[in-house]
Structure 1
Amino acid sequence: MRIWDLHCHLSGVAGLTPEERLGSLIKYADRVGIERLCVYMGMKWAQDPSADDLGKQNDDVLRALEKHKDRAFGFVYLSAKHVERSLSELERCVTNGPMVGVKLWVAQRCNDPMIDPIIKRAAELKAVIFQHTWFKTTANYAGESTPDDLVALAKRFPEVPIICGHTGGTWELGIRAIREQKNLFADLAGSDPTWGITEMAVRELGADRIIYGSDSGGRSFASQLAKVHGAQISDADKQKIFCDNLRNMMLPILKAKGIQA
């Protein structure tokens, strides 16, 4: 099967430079048959990045992509806490650069309308939009979004596809939270490879709304691939989850940039 990994980082990986770290990820990806990696956030990041830090994180990814552009896609790291700088980074890294998606993490919850100019511009560029989410029993980080927050955002942009990072961590709740919001897609990355996550997601959302990701180097490729390889679903649905859904979402911006996929 073709496998594209939605969710990779340069942290937690061997290497002294961004290029070396992405090279390490690719080495391990080759062992398990992963064709393309989506990479975002740089060598070392904070939960509440400054505007300048966003730029530094994106610089790391741009360096890594320059050496490995045939194997990786870059997503620009943005924050609704720094809207003007984020819009500037969108232009630098996506409009005028090689990146094809947007990564939104913590610092400002995504239900806040402050984020709307970022979503609007990303949608105009056809960039893939990825929002980290989590339901934590120990309380979320300050500014950390839940799937419920993402539903509130998605309702303001019902025609824009948005990916729910980690399926909310507590995936039984996350799947149900996003179920009725048809422009939201579930990212399988990051949680333990518990039996039943993929089966429930297919049952509740449909295979067309589920995307494989690993969260490497925070998680291993093998443990996260097992969620799909070991799922009791059809091979056709596995292929949608492993590659087709993400590829179809990315095709408009890839074609606009002349990137073969």
Structure 2
Amino acid sequence: MRIWDLHTHFASTGLTAEQRAEKLLRVADRMGIERLCLYMGFPWSQDPAPDKFRAENDQVLSVLPKWPDRLLGFVYLNPKHVEESLAELDRCVKDGPMVGVKLWVAQHCNTPEVDRLVERAHELQALVFQHTWLKVMANYPGESTPLDFAELAQRHSGMPLVCGHTGGDWEQGIRAIAPLKNTFADLAGSDPVAGYTEMAVRELGAGRVLYGSDASGRSFASQLAKVHGADIPAEAKKLIFGENLIRLLTPILKAKGIKF
């Protein structure tokens, strides 16, 4: 069974990007994970200025050549800085090796500024990953909810969009994105509670569910358990662990000549 991890960050220890990436891959090897999508650098920033998100992307770019068959990079952008983010998207995806876009908590994703980034990503065939969460104690000021994400997805119905963490409160997140066939649920980051993956498969179909870990913020083992332990058919597990993500990334991987 091929396992591609949609959602990873550098290991939390190590002096250099290479040391942190090597540690992350060493643990992934023990878990049988074939490829990792890597984004954001260290120390990360919730609302990075352009020089900061460029520096974080440089950290990711620096390790991709050493492990070209293991790591896939997503460019970290801040919609508060649209022109600089568009330039960074071109630098890292159009003219660089990255294959996706990471949007976090600087700006709500249903705002017009995000549309320009999503449209350019679509032109470049890059997969867009938008963090979402519903927090009991209130979200960060610019943090998107699954409902915000649904608004974005409605405006861009012709392109695939990933709902990061499925909103944290996954029961509400799954319901929010279920009618939107261009949306995909990311299983990463929350606790491996019973029923999460089963509900996602039941409401969305196995073809719209993606395995991710959020390592090193979460362990690979706990996040793999969400799929391994789910009461779903083996064919559904194959789709979730790798086949869905491979399908979504195939156009840009082929365009860049990345073997998979």
* Bucket of the pairwise TM-score, normalised by the shorter protein: over 0.9
Q: Please report how far the alpha carbon of residue 13 of structure 1 lies from its aligned counterpart in structure 2 after TM superposition.
A: 2.5
- Asked if the contact 1:23–1:68 (Cα under 8 Å) also holds between the matched residues in 2, the reply is no
Q: Which residue of 2 aligns with 1:81?
A: 80
Q: Please report how far the alpha carbon of residue 48 of structure 1 lies from its aligned counterpart in structure 2 after TM superposition.
A: 1.1
State the AA in 2 paired with 1:59: D
Distance 1:18 1:70 in 2: 17
Alignment of 1:148-167 (within 5 A): 148-167=147-166
- Asked if the contact 1:58–1:77 (Cα under 8 Å) also holds between the matched residues in 2, the reply is yes
Q: Which residue of 2 aligns with 1:182?
A: 181
Q: Which residue of 1 aligns with 2:9?
A: 9
Distance 1:161 1:192 in 2: 25
Distance 2:166 2:114 in 1: 20
Q: Which residue of 2 aligns with 1:241?
A: 240
Percent identity (aligned): 63
Structure 1 runs (4+) greater than 3 angstroms displaced: none
Q: Which residue of 2 aligns with 1:110?
A: 109
Distance 1:235 1:204 in 2: 18
Distance 1:13 1:229 in 2: 26
2:59 is the alignment partner of 1:53: no
Q: Which residue of 2 aligns with 1:222?
A: 221
State the AA in 2 paired with 1:134: W
State the AA in 1 paired with 2:100: G
State the AA in 2 paired with 1:136: K
Unaligned runs of 5+ in 2: none
- Asked if the contact 2:192–2:225 (Cα under 8 Å) also holds between the matched residues in 1, the reply is yes
- Asked if the contact 1:110–1:150 (Cα under 8 Å) also holds between the matched residues in 2, the reply is yes
Q: Which residue of 1 aligns with 2:254?
A: 255
Distance 1:251 1:230 in 2: 28
Distance 2:90 2:129 in 1: 17
The TM-score with structure 2 as length reference comes to 0.99
- Asked if the contact 1:3–1:34 (Cα under 8 Å) also holds between the matched residues in 2, the reply is yes
Q: Please report how far the alpha carbon of residue 139 of structure 1 lies from its aligned counterpart in structure 2 after TM superposition.
A: 0.4
Distance 1:57 1:249 in 2: 25
Distance 1:167 1:183 in 2: 14
Give the CA RMSD over aligned residues: 0.7
SS at match of 2:65: helix
SS at match of 2:64: helix
- Asked if the contact 2:69–2:259 (Cα under 8 Å) also holds between the matched residues in 1, the reply is no
State the AA in 1 paired with 2:206: A
State the AA in 2 paired with 1:4: W
Unaligned runs of 5+ in 1: none
